[in-house]
Structure 1
Amino acid sequence: MGARMDTVTKGAMDFEPEALADFLAETFGGKAPVTIERIAGGQSNPTYFVTRGDVRLVLRKQPGGPILRGAHAIDREYRVLEALHPQGVPVARPILYHADPDLLGTPFYLMERIEGRVFADGALAAADKAERHALWMGLADAMAAMHNVRPEAVGLEDFGKPGNYFARQIARWSRQWEESQSDPIPVLDELSAWLVEHQPQDDGRVSLAHGDYRMGNVIFHPTEPRVAAILDWELSTLGHPLADLGYCCMAWHTAPEEYGGLLGLDLAAENLPTEEAFVKRYMSHCPDLPPLTSFHKAFALFRFSVIWVGIADRVRAGNAAGADGADPVHLARCFARRGLEVIERG
């Protein structure tokens, strides 16, 4: 009863907060007031700040309602944290995973809350201009640290299928697009067809691929331009490191109004790096990788387009994690067009 009386919630809850408070009391012992705050934004797994006494945690759970097979893989997120945290890769310390959906309606996990800064846009409007270039370099450094961990050395050798990553991913996301109930998007069909015809030969490289590595999915140190924690591992698998690099480079091929891109900005005036400078910084840590090509960037834009198709489907079904005021169908079309532009320039 004490837990129930001392539970404070902020924002819309998609579970019974008292159930979580009671679970925390049973798991960690003792009595302490509990505050649960839903983090605004995000199109993926609902995320909450949970404070119990002086202990500060983050809860991630699956969204309610029907979900696509293999989507919102909370268990995989937690497994990655367990594997990478001891290796010095900047991730939050995992606390516990709870598979039984009866408690909160879906599986969930708890991890430590990392204090720091999150920047919503690639232009880093909220950061001091003098620090912006260094923040992007820090993003490159953290990505390279993640890719330089050998999956077999940390128990992730079975985290996905090794080899032929791009072929399998194109097939997977094309199938998701074909199964969507959204209206036709001809530019997305065109981009998908081009990727199928221009897949590079598999070079056998395998690393942990984050799947959604970008500026908005990391926490930076409170005062230093280095990544303190990489977030949102839902799409992670065994893959090719250039997939993450190409995905991160989408920022230079999309406009600020298109989910915070850099296209059209005066990079030098804003102390933002060029795409070439960012790639060079990353490659300095991974010198044996082949070059990043138009294929890798077009593939990233294709996948992001289909992700927004999935968001549109969830919005239509009434179980999206958050809309952020964005039109997901418009963004799906936009990113598909940007992918074709990358191909044309390449």
Structure 2
Amino acid sequence: MAKLTSHLLREVHPAQRFDEAALLRYAAAHVEGFPAPLAGFAVRQFGHGQSNPTFCLECAAQGAVKRYVLRKKPPGVILQSAHAVEREFEVLKALGVHTDVPVPRVFCLCTDASIIGTPFYIMEYLEGWIYSDNKLPGVSPQKRKAIYIAAAKTLAALHSVDVERWERQYLASTGEGN
């Protein structure tokens, strides 16, 4: 079974709500091209496949809807190394800038928990298909082949990344590599 990403959005779970006005102010100041002020701003939550709460920011302006994705740490006490959205942001940013690995563009990282309660980052929204069965039932053989080839090419590009070099650079940038 396959569903479009946008078809898996739901209302934000009450335990995951945050200050949308504060987020809107932050995004307007830190995301290039973010349409603000907005009368048509909505936050919905993705209901699948993530350990960090993930939200869709929908910005209606001038008759069009622009979407962004926000990933944040969950609320409450967590292990320091768990739910490292800061690391996710840096990895996505590096992959997008330095490789051919297809990743969404990341716009900003906020480590100030006073904005929405936990650190978060905002990235590009990409509409796509979520397949719950990797056998891809109902998909034509030609399309299934194309999907598998694209997945293999993406994995090959990811495996060509020199992770040890990146790790050394990352640790040096955090002061942990000295």
* TM-score computed with the length of structure 2 as normaliser: 0.73
Higher RCO, 1 or 2 (CA under 8 Å, sep at least 6)? 2
Of residues 65, 69, 81, the one that matches 1:70 is 81
Q: Over alpha carbons, which structure has the higher Rg?
A: 1
- Residue 34 (structure 1) shift: 1.1
Contact 2:73 2:85 in 1 (8 A): yes
The question of 1:52 aligning with 2:52 is answered: no
1:312-344 alpha-carbon deviations (Å, 9 max, x no partner) = xxxxxxxxxxxxxxxxxxxxxxxxxxxxxxxxx
The residue aligned with 2:11 is 10
Partner of 2:131: 119
* Residue 134 to residue 16, structure 1, CA distance change in 2 (3 Å): same
1:91 is matched with which residue? Answer: 103
Shift of the 138–29 alpha-carbon distance from structure 1 to 2, 3 Å rule, reads closer
Cα separation, partners in 2 of 1:29 and 1:50, compared to 1, 3 Å? closer
The aligned length equals 150
**2: CA distance, partners of 1:25 / 1:44:** 27
Q: Does 1:140 align with 2:152?
A: yes
Distance (Å, rounded) in 2 between the aligned partners of 1:106 and 1:11: 16
Kindly state the Cα deviation for residue 43 of structure 1 after the two structures are TM-superposed: 4.5
Aligned match of 2:37: 31
Q: Secondary structure at the match of 1:118?
A: strand
User: Does structure 2 retain, via aligned residues, the 8 Å contact 1:83–1:156?
Assistant: no
Q: Which has the higher helix share?
A: 1
Inter-CA distance 151–26: structure 2 relative to 1 (3 Å threshold) = same
**Share of identical aligned residues, percent?**
35
Shift in Å at residue 75 of structure 1?
0.6
Does the 8 A contact of 2:35 with 2:59 survive in 1?
no
Structure 2, unpaired ranges of 5+: 1-9, 172-178
The Cα shift of 1:152 comes to 6.5
Per-residue Cα deviation, 1:276-321 (whole angstroms, up to 9, x for no partner):
xxxxxxxxxxxxxxxxxxxxxxxxxxxxxxxxxxxxxxxxxxxxxx
What amino acid is aligned across from residue 57 of structure 2 in structure 1?
A: V
Give the secondary-structure state (helix, strand or coil) at the position aligned to 1:49: strand
CA distance in structure 2 between the partners assigned to 1:80 and 1:110 by the alignment? 14
Aligned-residue CA RMSD (Å): 2.4
Q: Which secondary structure state, in structure 2, belongs to the residue aligned with residue 38 of structure 1? A: strand
Alignment partner, residue 4 of structure 2? none
2:136 equivalent to 1:129:
no
Q: Structure 2 CA distance, aligned partners of 1:16 and 1:112? A: 21
Instruction: Return closer, same or farther for 1:56/1:29 CA change in 2, 3 Å cut-off.
Output: closer
- Report the CA distance between 1:138 and its aligned residue: 2.1
Measure, in 1, the Cα distance between the counterparts of 2:35 and 2:125.
20
